[in-house]
């Protein structure tokens, strides 16, 4: 009887630990960083790209602003980051972060992501 209660107690503790750990890891994975300076007309985004999605999925910037993207790629193979309509294509390597700067001089919505498929949108307005 005591052994059964001990085993049930241990299982409960392990279950609680796993749920709290997984909840914390998920929260950390979905945080994003974005700063915008209206004074200098600049926008800075930290972007994470995985094989099948991008975080954040939409990047909103004002037309004529200077945009800097810090892009970290976590994937199973070498990839390329593209912004359709801006003629931007940069090579990505697993676990590496690149910095990309450009002027948002074209208004509209542009697909962003890997050269294989779009994963998100750049919205310039």
Q: What is the CATH number of the domain that holds 86?
A: 2.60.40.420
Please give the model's pTM, rounded to 2 decimal places.
Answer: 0.68
Q: What is the pLDDT along the chain (125 residues), one digit of tens a residue?
A: 777 877 777 776 776 555 554 443 333 333 445 665 555 789 999 999 988 889 999 999 999 999 999 999 998 877 899 999 999 999 999 999 999 999 999 999 999 998 778 889 999 99
Tell me what pLDDT residue 67 has: 96
Tell me what pLDDT residue 117 has: 80
Which is nearest to 85 in space by CA: 107, 67, 58, 63? Answer: 107
Tell whether 99 and 70 lie within a shared domain: yes
Tell whether 24 and 44 lie within a shared domain: no
Structural domain total, the chain: 2
Tell whether 80 and 91 lie within a shared domain: yes
Tell me what pLDDT residue 115 has: 75
Tell whether 50 and 62 lie within a shared domain: yes
The parent domain of residue 103 ranges over 34-124
Tell whether 42 and 20 lie within a shared domain: no
- Phi, psi of 24, deg, nearest 5: -65, -45
Tell whether 45 and 71 lie within a shared domain: yes
Quote the distance between the C-alpha of residue 114 and its chain's center: 13
Tell whether 40 and 59 lie within a shared domain: yes
Distance CA 94, CA 114 (A): 13
């Amino acid at each position: 009887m005591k052994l059964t209660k001990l085993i049930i107690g241990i299982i409960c503790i392990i279950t609680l630990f796993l749920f709290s750990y997984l909840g914390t890891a998920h929260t950390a994975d979905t945080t994003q960083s974005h700063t915008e300076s209206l004074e200098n007309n600049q926008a800075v985004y930290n972007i994470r790209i995985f094989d099948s999605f991008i975080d954040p999925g939409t990047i909103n910037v004002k037309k004529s602003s200077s945009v800097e993207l810090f892009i970290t790629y976590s994937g199973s193979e070498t990839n390329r980051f593209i912004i359709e309509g801006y003629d931007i294509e940069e090579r990505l390597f697993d676990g590496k972060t690149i910095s990309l700067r450009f002027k948002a001089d074209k208004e509209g919505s542009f697909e962003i992501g890997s050269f294989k498929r779009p994963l998100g949108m750049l919205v310039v307005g």
